Amino acid sequence: MTSRMMEGKVVVVSGAGGGIGRDIALLMARYGARVVVNDIGASLEGTGRDSTPGERVVEEIRAAGGEAVSNTDSVAESGAGERIVEQALDAFGRIDCVVNNAGILRDRFFHKMSDEEWDAVLKVHLYGSFNLSRAAANRFKDQESGTFVHMTSTSGLIGNLAQANYNAAKMGIAGLSKSIALDLGRFKVRSNCIAPFAWSRMVSSIPTDTPEQAARVEKIKQMTPAKIAPLAVYLASDGARDVNGQIFTVRNNEIFLMSQPRPVRSVHQSEGWTPESIAEHGMPALKSSFVPMDRSGDVFSWDPV
């Protein structure tokens, strides 16, 4: 029997019309939350608008006996965050959790990336997370409760090819989450990140030109968006009251706690360093501890379990 650990709570999920966001919204409702389903119904590249995906998720929640409303504001736009939060307050009288999940892709090798491709991805992922979080922050502060769950990515935390815009945005989200956790922790507000592995529109553009690429995609397809939702629900619940400022990865049935940058090794020279002494002594001493030029798939090299 499903518990009601989100009973009485109101959750906003951005990008909830499909994929990971949809499954998070559905499970939040199943565990008792009332949900604002935010989705503009855009293409993977962020073009176009269609209210149907979000409305369909609302219908699913209501059909299962839950409560939900649809919202089609773009989190990338200034003022949208306030409108989304106001809708939650108008519909349900409060807000308890924001899940920043909305995203688009404009993949391109860095030296070929246009200003528009850079801006579009950062606007949705990073600005969108800021806009919605900032709109909820004072409400959370005043009520001395509230949770943020942000979607980052191992593409940003570790690295990936042809995704400078996406990787920069996802690293920015990790920093944003930690700052929120530090700034609002004394008001009993929590902020954590999930780096999800799941088959969705966001990864369906992976090329399958070689047998190796095709095999990799088949493995990713095993990792459904539904595998991400339980951790998001837990982090939003009172059961996670002691979890703050952390980054988790979900990969099928595995949950990882990710490291965050800390000093690895140091060198010291009492008279100070010169460029020559760095070249001769400092850098050779540090070199054995260099972080390798890995991509996400190099680090997570085993089959999902």
Q: Look up 31 and say whether it is catalytic.
A: no
Confidence band for 97, pLDDT divided at 50, 70 and 90: very high
CA distance 18 to 225: 9
* pLDDT number for residue 187: 98
Alpha-carbon distance of 55 to 17, in angstroms, equals: 8
pTM above 0.95, yes or no: no
Q: What is the average pLDDT value for the chain, to the nearest integer?
A: 93
Q: State the pLDDT confidence band at 204, using cuts at 50, 70 and 90.
A: low
Q: How far apart are CA 14 and CA 28, in angstroms?
A: 13
13 C-beta neighbours (distance < 10 Å), count: 34
Confidence grade of residue 243 (pLDDT, cut at 50, 70, 90): very high
Nearest of 162, 155, 47, 45 to residue 106 by alpha carbon = 45
Cα torsion angle, 83, 88, 91, 93, sign: negative
Residue 19 has pLDDT above 70, yes or no: yes
Of the two residues 204 and 125, the one the predictor is more confident about is: 125
- Give buried/exposed letters for 241-271 (b at 16+ CB in 10 A, else e): eebbbbbbbbbbeeeeebeeeeeeeeeeeee
| pLDDT (mean) for 155-165 | 96
The mean pLDDT value for 172-187 works out to: 98
How sure is the predictor about 304, in pLDDT bands with cuts at 50, 70 and 90?
Answer: confident
Q: Which two tokens stand for residue 154?
A: 């191992």
- Is 49:17 a contact under the CB 8 Å cutoff? no
Q: Give residue 273's pLDDT.
A: 98
In the predicted structure, residue 87 carries a pLDDT above the cut 80: yes
pLDDT at position 48 is 73
Q: How far is CA 125 from CA 3, 76, 102, 106, in A?
A: 32, 8, 7, 12
| Residue 58: predicted pLDDT | 98
The pLDDT of residue 176 is 98
Q: 5 CB contacts (<8 Å, ≥6 apart)?
A: 31, 32, 233, 234, 237, 238, 239
Positive or negative, the CA dihedral 228, 234, 236, 240 is negative
What pLDDT does residue 133 have? 98
Using 50, 70 and 90 to split pLDDT, how confident is the model at 34?
Answer: very high
End-to-end CA distance of the chain: 25
Q: Which CATH architecture does the domain made up of 10-260 adopt?
A: 3-Layer(aba) Sandwich (3.40)
Mean local confidence (pLDDT), 121-134:
98
The residue with tokens 């008279």 is 271
When pLDDT is averaged across residues 217-221 and rounded to a whole number, the result is: 70
- For the chain, where are the E strands, in sequence order? 10-14, 34-38, 68-71, 97-100, 146-151, 189-197, 247-251, 254-257
Q: What is the CA radius of gyration of the chain?
A: 21
Alpha carbons 299 and 146: distance in angstroms, whole number: 33
Condensed to tens digits (0 to 9), the pLDDT of residues 255-291 reads 999 999 999 999 999 999 999 999 999 999 999 999 9
Residue that the structure tokens 């935390």 belong to: 157
Helices (H) and strands (E) in the chain, counts: 12, 8
Q: Which of 31, 127, 166, 234 is catalytic?
A: 166
Q: How confident is the model at residue 146 (pLDDT cuts 50, 70, 90)?
A: very high
Query: Taking the domains of the chain in order of start, what are their residue ranges?
Result: 10-260
Going across the sheet that includes 10-14, the strands are 68-71, 34-38, 10-14, 97-100, 146-151, 189-197, 247-251, 254-257
Instruction: Look at residue 64 and tell me whether its pLDDT is greater than 80.
Output: yes
Between the alpha carbon of residue 214 and those of residues 39, 105, 210, 224, the distances in Å are 30, 20, 6, 17
